[in-house]
Amino acid sequence: MSTTRWSVSRKSVRSRCGAATVEFAIVGSLFFMTLLAMFEFGRLNIIRHTADNAAYEAARQCMVPGATVAEAEDTAIRIMNVVGTRNTTVTVTPSNLGPDTDEITVTVEVPMNSNALVAARFSAAKTIQSTITLRTERPTRRS
């Protein structure tokens, strides 16, 4: 009697093996897709926060007297290169800093099609953009 029970339980284990393979194929693909999406959106979130920081640091760089737009652009590009972004665009407004400049606006744009792994297929025309405006530390002229 125990021999019959033993063979029945082994037989049911063998027939269950195919079902486990099919279940893993379905659940495993969803799991790995979710894992890839977490990495992708995590990386894009890091790029977004770094763009915020790069715009702020670039604006701080050129808000003092004697600073140039090129120094601000170099600062932003250097910070964005830390996370390995490609085709980053930095725009400083006004493009000519003088003693009459009251505010400086720095915009950092990172195209998703150059920096995303999978999301670029679905958002090729999108960019991650960060803009900051700071008042300068130049002395104001009085009439």
The predicted structure's pLDDT at residue 19: 80
The predicted structure's pLDDT at residue 63: 86
Map residue 92 onto helix, strand or coil.
Answer: strand
The C-alpha atoms of residue 99 and residue 54 are separated, in whole angstroms, by: 24
- Low pLDDT (below 50) residues in the chain: none
The predicted structure's pLDDT at residue 70: 94
Question: CATH topology for 39-135?
Answer: Pantoate--beta-alanine Ligase; Chain: A,domain 2 (3.30.1300)
- How big is the chain by its Cα radius of gyration, in Å? 28
Amino acid, single-letter form, for residue 92: V
Amino acid, single-letter form, for residue 98: G
Predicted model pTM? 0.76
